[in-house]
Amino acid sequence: MDRTEKRAFVQALQTVFAETSFVLVSQNKGLTVADATKLRRQMRDAGATYKVAKNRLAALALDGSKFEAVRPLLKGPTALAWSKDPVAVAKAAIEFARTNDKFVILGGALGTQTLNADGVKALAELPSLETLRAQLLGLIQTPATRIAGVLQAPGSQLARVFSAYAKKDETAEAA
């Protein structure tokens, strides 16, 4: 990389750090190309981005960002992963780490809070943002459907009573 490429890379990482809420730091010693490709595919499917970064350039990009606390994790062959949905990144990383022992999660940062590997695992156990939104929507809609059911019940009961009287009159006339 020449200097202009390095500057562009640092600026791109600074933009990412300004826009995202979670950054995962992992170590990928000895990953084969096939494993790395599989990891990138899993991250992409989860809506996350995974990049191997030079530690010095990543540290420069961290200056002044809310993720400065992850700087001590940048030792050895590290990679960064991020997404708008922090749970998606954590789930994808934990899932891949279960099947590949050469991929080690060092930690991460959720906003200004630093997480160790156990914190990332706990984050991965949370429901995703889409699931939480669906659950919240269900909670909001439940009272409305109950109110509609209660309001419709007297009308339907009256209709059944009138129907029963009509059938009773029809059977009386037929007899």
* Number of other CB atoms surrounding residue 86 within 10 Å: 26
The model's pTM is 0.68
Per-residue model confidence (pLDDT) at position 146:
64
Residues with Cβ within 8 Å of 95's Cβ and at least 6 positions away in sequence, in order, are 42
Are 24 and 80 in contact by the 8 Å Cβ rule? The answer is yes
Other residues' Cβ atoms within 10 Å of the Cβ of residue 150: 9
pLDDT-derived band at 175 (thresholds 50, 70, 90) equals low
Phi first, then psi: what are they for 7, rounded to 5°?
-60, -45
User: Which residues share a beta bridge with 51?
Assistant: 80
Q: Name the CATH code of domain 3-126 (choices 3.30.70.1730, 3.30.70.120, 3.30.1330.90, 3.65.10.10).
A: 3.30.70.1730
Instruction: Read off the pLDDT of each residue in 54-59 and give the average, rounded to a whole number.
Output: 89
């909670």: which residue's tokens?
A: 139
pLDDT of residue 153: 64
- Chain segment 59-83, per-residue pLDDT in tens: 888 888 888 888 888 888 889 999 8
Examine the pLDDT at 55 and tell me if it is beyond 70. Answer: yes
Number of helical H runs and strand E runs in the chain: 6, 5
How many CA atoms lie within 13 Å of 137's alpha carbon, on the beta-carbon side?
Answer: 6
The type of residue at 43 is: M
